[in-house]
Copies of this chain bind each other. A is one copy, B any other.
Amino acid sequence: MQFSKSTDYALHALLHLGNSERCNNVGIKELASTLGVSESYLSKIMSKLRQDGLVRAVPGVNGGYELSRSTEQITFLDVIQVIEGRQKLFECSNTDSQQHRLLAEEETAGRDQERSGKCECLVQKVMEGAEQHLHQYLREHTIQSVLDEAFKHGNHETNKK
């Protein structure tokens, strides 16, 4: 249960892009060298970010990447979901066991199917809650919010034209 390195790279790449909005495009070379990662691997990650609309890419001389939204509109959740996928935190397996009957069946029967066919048991309800809390927190933190913090702490060698 850990975020992958790719998420790490993606976050740092976006932070770099957000930080250097002087000339529009940042090439994979500059990006890879500042992050200390191989160009090969990072380009895959950037490609993913592009497919999900977080960045734009343009080939050719002086090409490279740029953010497709403002930094305030790119949340940690966005980045994480692009890289890690949108699978549930908890995916139940044995819905046909005896356990299931005790914890889920009675409920949906008694409460006569609250909403559509969601059919969620008590365990999943807890896990859903955990996921929602986590997502909410990650939605509240954006690339910009990190950049702001960095500026506050006396780091002023950025955004120089």
Contact = CB atoms under 8 A, between A and B. Distances in A.
Interface of A: 1-5, 7-8, 11-12, 15-16, 19, 33-37, 76, 80, 84-85, 87-94, 96-99, 102-103, 106-107, 110-111, 122-123, 125-127, 129-130, 133-134, 137-138, 141, 145-146, 149-150, 153-155, 158
Contact of A154 (B8, B19, B110): B110
A138 B15 CA distance: 31
Contacts of A141: 126, 129
A64 to B, nearest CB: 17
B126 A134 contact: no
Contact of A102 (B19, B92, B125): B19
